[in-house]
Amino acid sequence: MLRWVRQQLGFDPPHQSDTRTIYIANRFPQHGHYVPQKFADNRIISSKYTVWNFVPKNLFEQFRRVANFYFLIIFLVQLMIDTPTSPITSGLPLFFVITVTAIKQGYEDWLRHKADNEVNGAPVYVVRSGGLVKTRSKNIRVGDIVRVAKDETFPVDLVLLSSDRVDGSCHVTTASLDGETNLKTHVAVPETAVLQSVANLDKLVAVIECQQPEADLYRFVGRITISQQMEEIVRPLGPESLLLRGARLKNTKEIFGVAVYTGMETKMALNYKSKSQKRSAVEKSMNSFLIIYLIILLFEAILSTILKYAWQAEEKWDEPWYNEKTEHERNSSKILRFISDFLAFLVLYNFIIPISLYVTVEMQKFLGSFFIGWDLDLYHEETNQRAQVNTSDLNEELGQVEYVFTDKTGTLTENEMQFRECSINGIKYQEVNGKLTPEGFSEDSPDGNRHSLMKEEELFLKAVCLCHTVQINADQTDGADGPWHANGIASPLEYYASSPDEKALVEAASRVGVVFTGTSGDTMEVKSLGKPERYKLLHVLEFDPNRRRMSVIVESPSGEKLLFTKGAESSILPRSKSGEIDKTRIHVDEFALKGLRTLCVAYRRFTPEEYQEIGKRLREARTALQQREERLADVFNFIERDLELLGATGVEDKLQEKIQETIEALRLAGIKVWVLTGDKHETAVSVSLSCGHFHRTMNILELVQHKSDSTCAEQLRQLAKRIKEDHVIQHGLVVDGTSLSLALREHEKLFMEVCKNCSAVLCCRMAPLQKAKVVRLLKTSPEKPITLAIGDGANDVSMIQEAHVGIGIMGKEGRQAVRNSDYAIARFKFLSKLLFVHGHFYYIRIATLVQYFFYKNVCFITPQFLYQFFCLFSQQTLYDSVYLTLYNICFTSLPVLIYSLFEQHVHPHVLQSKPVLYRDISKNAHLGFKPFLYWTILGFFHAFVFFYGSYLLMGEDTSLLRNGQMFGNWTFGTLVFTVMVITVTMKMALETHFWTWINHFVTWGSIVFYFIFSLFYGGIIWPFLHTQDMYFVFVQLLSSGSAWFAIILIVVACLFLDVVKKVLYRHLQPTSTEKAQMYSNRVALSDEFIALQPLSRARNQLSKIRWKKIRVQSAQHVTLLKAGTEGRTIGNC
């Protein structure tokens, strides 16, 4: 129980040993000296709070805010000393703010807990007591034997014990971890591979010793000791034996493995960045403004205290006859009296700090976030997914993004390769209805309608079908008895490939007549137009990034030894001595210009003597203990020469829809895009070119394959020099993971200089934590840019959590990224609408809200300060305490809240079609020092007009009623307050561009409510009030024509200059946004933006559309089918 409590509080002690000992099936030694090691349970936690720490942790975070902490101090001061106002005036709003914020943040964290519980409660099967037991994922313990079936994800990090295959192998895809979709083969040790039944596994007696958990996905060091027939067999364990949590089992019916790392100690979880409270730039600006206003407050309080004692230096004012001091007051310490008076003034002026600002901001963010989910343009019909908001605290940050860091696989691409074209023997071919058709021929032409393949075509397709690492679904047979197509080909097989390119090529070959039907031992079988042929696989020359090619040596059915090679054109064409080399080079360039991924294919025939020579060399190199890699490279180069070129292929990596347009729009908006991927160098560059991240005219610089600090530094200096010399053209930078580690170690400044001078940066072969380091590098640079990270897999979680704004793509690689993101969208193309429209609106709304709050509180409290000059600094309040409490809560709160929810200063269509408008709000432009100074000076100006205008018009002549009755100080204070409420409300109306019936209702309704409330409050004697200062005051004030004249005159005087300024600036020096506003007035409202309108207007417009059919999907979703907008969903509207 104690350990559980410590885990809940986050104080679980670290491991004491460098290694961990795991007894399989938890069969611990029976001797009494063994003390079991303590391991974490298998729960995944992405939430910030627990039941135990929610209250203290949330209170700590809230009181980090300057305003909250300040009002807590003021509340305590009011409790301790006699102050002009009641403690309720500070304590009640503070309690309301803290409670509302805690409820909001608690609700958001509850959603995270709910998502975690779905994962932790997933059903799994564990071997216990001689049988398979169904339990929940969170109940798995280290040492448990777990069964995982095909297409299931691994619930923990497992050491593979056995599979349904005799050799104990299985195939795994780690796309959700490192972005690679190729299948990886994992193998069990021979002694456990034969244990394929639960009964046999239950008898296994073995111990695993391995390293403690670490984040490196590709490193695992351990050993397994198996007790068999009174002897112990020790086998090494490496990464090929470890199955990682989050990876998925493919092409294997089932496996059994033993849990070695669980829960937050799995490699997937260790690559998560710890969850921290993200704070927006607007919130930081608010805290800065609050500090400035706190200084103004302290200045006013100190000045008032000094002036009070300066005034009381005269004896007649120190103790007037109508206010004699008590004996205790005469004998009290002057220092204590000074401090007490200073604190009393502090309480009197404390409303200059807007306590309700934070709660209004919280409500605006929470309610405003629903518009993202309701936006029809962010709804993906194919997957029935709409945008999702996990953290509403960062809405305005969407309008401040300067860098976008994006994953490649599943984020920019659909991860679906499609064969497009090929070149065979100098002739270009396309696939037409399952046939290879030469370019320029149609299926109907004499040469286009063929049922056989030419010799060169067949050899080319056989090379494609033999030179690869493709595997076939074990559930499928070779199709010999299956249905045949018209051209004699069996029904399609399900292929699993080491790369998407290979899979696309093998599938294309099968469609046009040459089918790879599988391997059996060292034999590869191919069917050419239904005729089976068996090739013996002799050697595989593996792909490596230096050679940029791979080869196989096979023995044909006739006994001939053949080498088939495929790779990048730069590595194949120079090694070819025959074939249509020049024509193929031209075709490869044409394919590349179309954005296709290209590979060249060649072959070589060996004489028996040549084959004996290369076989000898290969054996010597592969058994060498010293310099094995260098010797193998030399042998591979010796073999792969004198090639005969067969042709080239062009494969399209299918990009997501509107990727190029989205990236170009981001570039126009002044946002730099970095692609961070775990994929290969060549693949990543090809996709960057296809999606428009790199332009064809861009100068591509490379920082790759460096293994020492010196070479990396030298290359960086050369790149910096080259950029400086060629400053006119655009540059793109490609950097790989190992070079990046070296660059960040000692040359961080130089690396950043190179990156910032590049228009686009591509980082390949990146580990998950490296992605987070790159984001952190930009975040902490001197410019402190706002960063956004977007990805779809578990390998993107770290950078999503590190960036200021994290966005998850609801893709095919699980939900880890979505669960840990701030926002989730279905496709990358939705990013433009999210930033340019929603981000723009949210930032403008909240920037105006913050400035307006400070403005209206300066208007509110400055007359109180000026009033002290007329009452001998006696701390007499100008306003009634009820007015003090309700000014920010009731009288002036709703107009600005509604403005901050519905304001659209520019039409959404204009914002999206003109991304350059996004630059106008970048760098926190609307919350800089100049706008802040303007609003503050405006507040002081209006406050002086309120006070002195009322004083000049009514202060000297107080007998304005027909019966000669005089006005008092409460009437004067009420007049100032009335003018102030009307003026600040009208000022909000002047700032509003987009009027709805809700805006009209709350704007004019707030003024009407103030009048009704004041008449009601002052017209009745309230028995629970200890004073009745305001009785009939407001009625008397409104019964005076002079008072009405003063109210109108002062309001007009305040707002007239503001109106003149707006008109002059708009016509003489209009900004690009103001020009867009004039343009947007001419843009007709389209149904595409209905979701951004207030909900009532959206419903109203939707009701006018003729719907062909209404189909209720569930209680919460109604699918509305209409011509042109089929299947659009409005959820929870």
Point out the catalytic residue in the list 407, 679, 792, 796.
407
To 5 degrees, how large is the angle CA 1028–CA 1034–CA 1035?
A: 110
To 5 degrees, how large is the angle CA 597–CA 601–CA 603?
A: 165
Name the residue among 144, 112, 780 with its Cα closest to residue 388: 112
- Rounded CA-CA distance 989/982 in Å is 11
Token pair for 435: 């046939």
Q: Is 792 helix (H, G, I), strand (E, B) or coil?
A: coil
Give 803's Cβ-side CA count (13 Å radius): 33
- Rounded CA-CA distance 1054/842 in Å is 28
- Rounded CA-CA distance 760/1121 in Å is 41
Q: Break the chain down into helix, strand, coil percent, rounded to 5.
A: 50, 20, 30
- Rounded CA-CA distance 506/510 in Å is 6
Q: Which residues pair with 1128 in a beta bridge?
A: 1120
Give 986's Cβ-side CA count (13 Å radius): 18
- Rounded CA-CA distance 973/1017 in Å is 15
Q: CA 607 → CA 604, 610, 615, 771, distances in Å?
A: 10, 5, 12, 50
Question: Is 407 designated active site?
Answer: yes
- Rounded CA-CA distance 676/653 in Å is 17
Q: CA 522 → CA 532, 850, 860, 1099, distances in Å?
A: 16, 72, 87, 67
- Rounded CA-CA distance 532/481 in Å is 13
φ, ψ at 187 (rounded to 5°): -130, 150
Asked if residues 799 and 676 have their Cβ atoms less than 8 Å apart, the reply is yes
- Rounded CA-CA distance 228/1055 in Å is 93
DSSP string, 274-297: PP-----HHHHHHHHHHHHHHHHH
Give 930's Cβ-side CA count (13 Å radius): 3
> What is residue 58's DSSP assignment?
H
- Rounded CA-CA distance 357/362 in Å is 9
- Rounded CA-CA distance 1040/607 in Å is 117
Q: Is 462 helix (H, G, I), strand (E, B) or coil?
A: helix
Q: Give Cβ neighbours of residue 703 (< 8 Å, ≥ 6 apart).
A: 712, 715, 716, 719, 733, 734, 735, 736, 739, 740, 743, 754
Three-class DSSP labels, 630-651: HHHHHHHHHHCCCEEEEEEEEE
φ, ψ at 787 (rounded to 5°): -110, 150
Q: Give Cβ neighbours of residue 768 (< 8 Å, ≥ 6 apart).
A: 177, 178, 215, 217, 271, 678, 794, 795, 796, 797, 798, 799
| 565 conformational bin, left if phi > 0, alpha if psi -120 to 50, beta if neither | beta
Give 981's Cβ-side CA count (13 Å radius): 29
Count of residues for the chain? 1133
Which residues are catalytic, by number? 407
